A and B are shown apart, each in its own frame.
Chain A
Amino acid sequence: AQKVTQAQTEISVVEKEDVTLDCVYETRDTTYYLFWYKQPPSGELVFLIRRNSFDEQNEISGRYSWNFQKSTSSFNFTITASQVVDSAVYFCALSEGNAGGTSYGKLTFGQGTILTVHP
């Protein structure tokens, strides 16, 4: 069975600090997809990024960057120069791809990391 672990329950930083959110996953499949979602205080879930198991290239989008390492089964998320608006719960999620391609996109979520950025 697949599993996603976000060991950091809560992180508190001061504005402009860099912060890294950890995500470790377990899966027996060779084809899978990893996602990060953001849940701001208003409650909705916002898709941030998707990464497939064949692409270990890191990605940067503005102040956000993601480091995917298959060797350690990790998909970590870094926010550079954090801002108060980054305060949210961040979820890492895993979607397996069955050999027959029939996983139907079901997501297994981590427990979430509560990030608080203080002014």
Chain B
Amino acid sequence: NAGVTQTPKFRVLKTGQSMTLLCAQDMNHEYMYWYRQDPGMGLRLIHYSVGEGTTAKGEVPDGYNVSRLKKQNFLLGLESAAPSQTSVYFCASSYRGRNQPQHFGDGTRLSIL
């Protein structure tokens, strides 16, 4: 049982390059989330999705786009990477409901040079 799988685990980009982070979950969860973790700031919500075909902005959405074409996948895109986007990115998923614990992937460490 894989849970939440993030691909890739590490990536180094140059400023201005684009890339997509993939999140896949096999728990049939309705809700999915993308967070970024920066030192001293905890985790901050970038975008989230409450179902296939739906997405919404979180606390820090600028510079990112997302898509959820299939229930099990949630993609995070950086169209033109900037050094300020250097961070560790976590994907999470949960069952429907505000009281449901979120299950996290192992994270993607992204460096923008």
Interface residue ranges of B25-63 to A (CB < 8 Å): 31, 33, 35, 40-45, 48, 50, 56, 58
Is B84 in the interface zone, CB < 8 Å from A?
no
Assess the A105–B98 pair: CB atoms within 8 A.
Answer: yes
A46 to B40 alpha-carbon distance, docked (Å): 19
Choose, from B11-19, B72-80, B100-108, the stretch at the interface: B100-108
Contact across chains for A103 and B43 when beta carbons are under 8 A apart: no
Residue A81, interface by CB 8 Å: no
Is A44 touching B106 in the complex (CB atoms < 8 A)? yes
| Interface residue total, chain B, C-beta cutoff 8 A | 28
Q: Which of B42, B88, B97 contacts A111 (CB 8 A)?
A: B42
Q: How many interface residues does chain A have, given as a range?
A: 20 to 34
Taking a contact as CB atoms under 8 Å apart, the answer to whether B48 and A106 are in contact is yes
The residue in chain B whose Cβ has the minimal distance to the Cβ of A104 is B50
Interface contact B43-A91, CB-CB below 8 Å: yes
Chain A residues with CB under 8 Å of B100's CB are: 105
Q: Do B41 and A103 touch across chains, with their CB atoms under 8 A apart?
A: no
Residues on the A chain within 8 Å of B101, using CB: 35, 47, 50
Q: Is A95 an interface residue (CB 8 A)?
A: yes
Cβ of A107 under 8 Å from chain B: yes
Partner-B contacts on A (CB < 8 A): 4, 6, 9, 33, 35, 37, 42-47, 50, 52, 91, 93, 95-98, 101, 103-112
Between A and B, 11 residue pairs with Cβ closer than 8 Å are: A9-B40, A37-B104, A45-B43, A47-B101, A47-B103, A97-B99, A103-B98, A104-B56, A106-B48, A107-B33, A111-B40
